[in-house]
Homo-oligomer: A and B are copies of this chain.
Amino acid sequence: MVKKVLKFGGTSVGTTQRIHHVANIIKKEREIGNKIIAVVSAMAGKTNELLSYSKNIDENFEKRELDVLLSSGEQVTCSLLAGALMKLNIEAKSWLNWQIPILTEGEHTNSRIINININKIDEYLNKGVAVVPGFQGISKDGDITTIGRGGSDATAVAIAKIFKADTCEIYTDVDGVYSSDPNKIPVAKKIDKISYDEMLELSSVGAKVMQSSAVQTAMMYDIPLEVRSTFTDRKGTKIFSQENIDYSKSVTGVAYSKDDAKITLIGVEDKPGVAANIFEPLNKNQINVDMVIQNISSDQNTTDITFTIKRDDLVKTKEILKANNKIKYKNISHNDKVAKISIVGAGMVSTPGVTYRMFRGLADSNINILAISTSEIKLSVIIDEEKTLDAVKKLHTIFDLD
């Protein structure tokens, strides 16, 4: 007998028929004697429907009330799943955020779970399935709070941690983590095992299978995760700490994202503090700068500085740069038709030549590299957007992932 947290995302509970199906998955777990806490999202589309109501009322809908509004979505799923389980003669009960309670701190719409009272539910697990809403909690003042979109993953991991669950299974509409986007790269393969770090790097570059902060929490407390499909019986991807994984391959996956833009300041006056003067006002305006490259310019007293940001921030970034009278430069150029391609693998660090093989492969395909950044388990390059799929396919082949 093991204690499991099973989390079902919005598409998994998107219709009453699917909720029946989820109840059958849980029934099988109960029949082999497992203790189950089910964490559920709002039915697919419901959160957006509620959000559109709020925007019709006020574009800047007040945040305390937004939390009251959005939290109703998971409440609906909780009761429907509890009802579906009872229909199958499985004892079950919904436990809402304030009934448990799930205590949070921080701002409305962006709170963090800090404690969950386990006594009542832990006792209940001996006889039935506890169904718990993801994404929400209450503040110490007794107001409803939410923990950001995708927050149901974070709820599931927090519950797994606090209830000392043996495992936390994330049921979703894909059957695991892939070596690249299976919709675009037909030879992409499902990864059986992956480390927390690799998972984080992959999701930071567009493989959005799980919410990153939830993976971070799981890593911090060493909670075994499994991402698997609600709609097939196939095994999913298990997510462990690195030491438990035997790496036969240097690279685990190739990811890409198309939401970056590149800005170059040409002929920047080359003196101490200039980089700080450029990036400080961007940081103050919550613009996230990703890669930064500094070259020597043709003119010896100046330098060229290139950096990448989210494409959505491009207009605002240029405005801030133009208003910045602490820096001097000759010209500014930008390119928002770029993509970021990343190879990720915990085995990279122990395998020589990975960097060289990547650059060589891209060169062979006539793909120009516009910027490079590296971490211990990730190597990213910026290239022309139109070459995205060529690059991903080439790298997927080079690193034996096909």
Contact = CB atoms under 8 A, between A and B. Distances in A.
A72 interface: yes
Interface stretch (A75-83, A184-192, A251-259, A276-284): A75-83
B58 A76 contact: no
A94 B66 CA distance: 11
Closest 4 CB pairs of A and B: A16-B56, A68-B79, A69-B79, A58-B87
Interface string A386-402: 00000000000000000
B80 A53 contact: yes
B58 A86 contact: yes
A84 interface: yes
A221 interface: no
A315 interface: no
A72 B77 CA distance: 11
Interface string A59-70: 001101110110
Majority secondary structure of chain A interface residues (helix, strand, loop or mixed): helix
Nearest to A56: B16
A217 to B, nearest CB: 28
A45 to B, nearest CB: 13
Contact of A84 (B50, B57, B78): B57
A200 to B, nearest CB: 34
Given A76-B50, A82-B62, A16 B57 contact: yes
Interface centre among A71, A72, A83, A99 (most CB of B within 10 A): A83
A76 B53 contact: yes
Given A53-B80, A57-B83, A69-B80, 6 more contacts: A16-B53, A53-B76, A58-B83, A66-B83, A68-B79, A98-B98
Contacts of A79: 54, 65-66, 68-69
Q: Size class of A's contact patch?
A: 35 or more
A86 B72 contact: no
B78 A68 contact: yes
Given A17-B56, A57-B20, A94 B65 contact: yes
Nearest to A15: B56
Interface centre among A57, A72, A76, A99 (most CB of B within 10 A): A57
A223 interface: no
A142 interface: yes
Contacts of A214: none
A19 interface: yes
Contacts of A75: 68-69, 71-72, 75
Contacts of A68: 75, 78-79, 82, 94, 96
Nearest to A67: B79
Interface in A86-134: 86-87, 93-94, 96, 98-99
A33 B93 CA distance: 45
Interface string A1-36: 000000000000000110110000000000000000
A20 to B, nearest CB: 7
Contacts of A58: 83-84, 86-87
Contacts of A61: 83
A68 B132 CA distance: 12
Nearest to A78: B68
A109 to B, nearest CB: 12
Contact of A69 (B76, B87, B99): B76
Contacts of A64: 93
B72 A57 contact: no
A53 B80 CA distance: 8
B69 A86 contact: no
Interface string A370-394: 0000000000000000000000000
A81 to B, nearest CB: 9
Nearest to A55: B16
Given A17-B56, A62-B82, A82-B65, A76 B87 contact: no
